[in-house]
Amino acid sequence: MVESTTTIYDVARVAGVSMATVSRVVNGNANVKEKTRQKVLDAIAELDYRPNAVARGLASKRTTTVGVILPTITSTYFAAITRGVDDIASMYKYNMILANSDNDVEKEGKILETFLSKQVDGIVYMGSSLDEEVRTALKNTRTPVVLVGTIDGDKELPSVNIDYHLSAYQATTKLAKNGNKKIGYIMGSLTDAENIERMVGYQEALIESGLEFDEELVFEGNYSYEQGKVLVERLLDRGVTGVVVAHDTVAVGVLSALMAKGVKVPEDFEIIAGSNSPITQYTYPSLTSVNQPLYDLGAVAMRLLTKLMLKEEVEENQLILDHEIIERQSTK
């Protein structure tokens, strides 16, 4: 196999046609006589010719590649979304360049630069906190961008999310109905639009349930399991008997710490996790969870992106997918 880059010219020569015709055949252009098409196809098979996508990209200004930027692929939350993105992407013949940002503004900036220099046709962005700087950069690009699980406060950038406000309201109400008087909430930074929505939903639910809002019961938990274990101490100190945890990994940490302390779940303490990523089913007791349709979020986002890339009409930029609360063993 001496494979020294056989080009479209080689194929043309062997098939006895011009390279233009070969190009037509390769690209499925209809204007080719069946007989010549067959000659070309034979030559392609004979030479084991494979089109060079880079050259193609240069000439056509399309790379059939989209950039995906996310905090870290090791999170089952982002992994599930990403799987949805990839499935739809490959369905539309796109590939995915993936980059982990650790939600670091500087890294995000660099990744964005790289993606643009690589001429990606579109970008899928995930990141709990959408920094102002990054947001501006995203808006100033000609390249289509879709946010997933991330809210742009101004609702300018296309995005796919669930109704965080409603989900927080429902989860809190559920805990209230189960008789909990002190209900905690662990979410990400309150500077994120997404969490502001959650906060409002939480407060509304408390009020409607005749409970008092106490900011001491709201905690900022990042993505870590350890964080969850640490927060349990404070939850218990403050008399909390039920908690809604936005990030699943943190929820698992909370559960583990409670179990280790001998606190009975759900008898003495109830937990509702926030995104129904796979791990919520793996724990024992399994975690009641807000079911964010993660795979679908990714799939829908990618579908939206294809429309944007192909300049199709898009009636609505801000997509909201349905969620539900899946009852498992961590609530009564």
Partner DNA sequence: TTGTACGCGTTATCAG
Partner DNA sequence: CTGATAACGCGTACAA
Q: List interacting residues with a copy of itself (CB under 8 A).
A: 1, 3, 50-55, 57-58, 63, 65, 72-74, 76, 79-80, 82-83, 86-87, 90, 95-100, 113-114, 116-119, 140, 142, 225, 249, 252-253, 255-256, 259-260, 278-279, 281-284, 286
Residue 41 interacting partner from DNA, a copy of itself, none (CB closer than 5 to 8 Å by kind): none
The DSSP code for 265 is T
Residue 20 interacting partner from a copy of itself, DNA, none (CB closer than 5 to 8 Å by kind): DNA
Site for DNA in 49-108 (CB under 7 A): 49-52, 55-56, 58-61
Site for DNA in 151-190 (CB under 7 A): none
Please enumerate in sequence order all residues whose Cβ is within 8 A of that of 106, keeping only pairs 6 or more positions apart, or say none.
none
Structure tokens at 133: 């700087």
| Residue 47 is a binding residue for DNA (CB under 7 A) | no
Give the helix/strand (H/E) hosting 19: helix 19-26
Contact region for DNA (CB under 7 A) — 24-32, 139-147, 153-161, 238-246? 24-32
Give the span between the Cα atoms of 99 and 97, in whole angstroms: 7
* E strand spans, the chain: 65-70, 95-100, 122-125, 145-148, 159-162, 183-187, 218-220, 242-245, 270-273, 288-291, 318-321, 324-326
Cβ nearer to a copy of itself, comparing 100 with 209: 100
| Residue 38 is a binding residue for DNA (CB under 7 A) | no
Cβ nearer to DNA, comparing 37 with 229: 37
Cβ nearer to a copy of itself, comparing 50 with 238: 50
Give the span between the Cα atoms of 202 and 200, in whole angstroms: 5
Give the span between the Cα atoms of 197 and 152, in whole angstroms: 12
Give the helix/strand (H/E) hosting 327: none
Residue 42 interacting partner from a copy of itself, DNA, none (CB closer than 5 to 8 Å by kind): none
From candidates 1, 28, 30, 215, binder to DNA by CB under 7 A: 30
Preceding omega of 144 cis (within 30 degrees of 0): no
Minimum Å gap between C-beta 304 and DNA is 24
Contact region for DNA (CB under 7 A) — 26-34, 164-172, 174-182, 294-302? 26-34
Site for DNA in 287-316 (CB under 7 A): none
Helical H segments across 186-276, by residue range: 193-208, 225-237, 248-261
Residue 31 interacting partner from a copy of itself, DNA, none (CB closer than 5 to 8 Å by kind): DNA
Strands 270-273 vs 318-321: parallel, antiparallel or unpaired = unpaired
The angle formed by the CA atoms of residues 165, 167 and 85, to the nearest 5 degrees, is 95
Residue 317 interacting partner from DNA, a copy of itself, none (CB closer than 5 to 8 Å by kind): none
Cβ nearer to DNA, comparing 37 with 198: 37
Look at the block and give the residue holding tokens 């008087």. 181
Neighbour count for residue 48 (Cβ, 10 Å):
9
Residue 109 interacting partner from DNA, a copy of itself, none (CB closer than 5 to 8 Å by kind): none
Which residues contribute to the site for DNA (CB under 7 A)?
Answer: 5, 7-9, 16-21, 23-24, 26-27, 30-33, 35-37, 49-52, 55-56, 58-61
